[in-house]
Amino acid sequence: MMWRLIFLGLLIWLVIHILKRNIGQIKSPKNDTDVNTTNTQNQTHIEDMVQCAHCAVHLPRSEAFLVGGAIYCSKAHIQNK
């Protein structure tokens, strides 16, 4: 009786393992070249972070305003200098 339960458990585990592996292959792309081009397109550009001279908030350099050698996060803070 005990051997039947062990055998049944192993059989169920094997079926689940095979199904998971087959489902994973179905979801993955067919070509390795497709994966490489997708990864390079999805990579984000890393920017330097700068600090606002008025409020000390950190923000990406591309979103900052540079006025008179000082960096600001918004036009309102430029006016309040």
Give me the number of domains the chain comprises: 2
Distance CA 33, CA 28 (A): 12
Domain holding 30, by residue range, is: 2-42
* Same domain assignment for residues 10 and 37: yes
pLDDT confidence tier of residue 24, bands split at 50, 70 and 90: confident
Q: From the CB of residue 28, how many other CB atoms can be counted at a distance below 10 Å?
A: 9
Name the band, by pLDDT with cuts 50, 70 and 90, for residue 71: very high
pTM: 0.46
Picking from 77, 59, 57, 55, the residue whose alpha carbon sits closest to that of residue 67 is: 77
Q: Are residues 29 and 61 in the same domain?
A: no
**CA 77 – CA 53 distance, rounded (Å):** 8
pLDDT for 33-67, tens place per residue?
Answer: 555 555 556 667 788 999 999 999 999 999 999 99
What tens digit of pLDDT does each residue of 1-23 get? Answer: 789 999 999 999 999 999 988 88
Same domain, 34 and 58: no
